[in-house]
Amino acid sequence: MDKRELMKAFDVNVGGNFSMSVKFVSQPLRPVGQQLNLVNVSTAAIQTYRVPNQNPYSTSKAAFTALVGRIADEHPVEDVQIISFHPGVLYSESASASFDKNAINWDEMALPADYAVWAASPEASWLHGRFVWAHWDVDELKADKNILKRLEEEKGFLKVAIQGLPEVSLDGYFIKN
């Protein structure tokens, strides 16, 4: 991995997006009580021998998705609804350079746009701060008692974080009186 490429990817996908997001959620002229919606289109890009130089991109996208999840932790959904999502497996120009059109069950090109509209609706509020895939069946997720229980009980569930930790906490470092 080339450091210049890594830093360029982080400047764009973390630094630029962070600046925009902070300005967006702290708009000084926003009417009191007006909810904002921040929808982050991320990726679950997989490092593969067929797609060179993917690592800085996917690493920086994951870093921003984790960061926007922390922004969501700081803002109640009633103030700013924040949802990150993977747009789906789309047969694009770059995908066609590596994959045959008949090799994968591609998602419809309209899926990310349709999902983004839904993600900005009140119906999606239960996914505030989470990272999901656009092609997941929302009705199935909402009907799955185990998923709903995990969303309620595990702060880190469906968030980009260190796998295996239900949440990151410094509580163990503080002296309890």
Please report, as a single letter, which amino acid is at residue 17. Answer: N
Mean pLDDT of 70-80: 95
CA distance 83 to 124: 8
Reduced DSSP (H G I as helix, E B as strand, rest coil) percent helix, strand, coil of the chain, to 5: 45, 10, 45
pTM of the model: 0.84
Residue of 93, 94, 87, 89 lying closest to 106 (CA atoms): 89
Q: What is the pLDDT of residue 84?
A: 96
| CA-to-CA separations, 7 to 1, 2, 13, 47, 63, in angstroms, rounded | 11, 9, 10, 18, 12
pLDDT tens for 12-51 read 999 999 999 999 999 999 999 999 999 999 986 654 445 5
Look at residues 81, 100, 1, 101 and name the one whose alpha carbon lies nearest to residue 40.
81
Q: Which residue has the higher pLDDT, 69 or 53?
A: 69
| Domain 3-12+32-153: which CATH number of 2.40.110.10, 3.30.70.270, 3.40.50.11260, 3.40.50.720 | 3.40.50.720
- Convert the pLDDT of each residue in 88-146 to its tens digit: 999 989 889 989 999 999 999 999 999 999 999 999 999 999 999 999 999 999 999 99
The question of whether 96 is a catalytic residue gets the answer: no
Q: Considering 58, 60, 61, 84, which one is annotated as catalytic?
A: 61
CA distance 73 to 161: 13
Domain layout of the chain by residue ranges: 3-12+32-153
Contact 72, 28 (CB under 8 A): no
Q: Which residue has the tokens 């926003």?
A: 30
Active site residue 159: no
Q: Is there a catalytic annotation at residue 121?
A: no
Q: Which of 57, 58, 84, 115 is catalytic?
A: 57
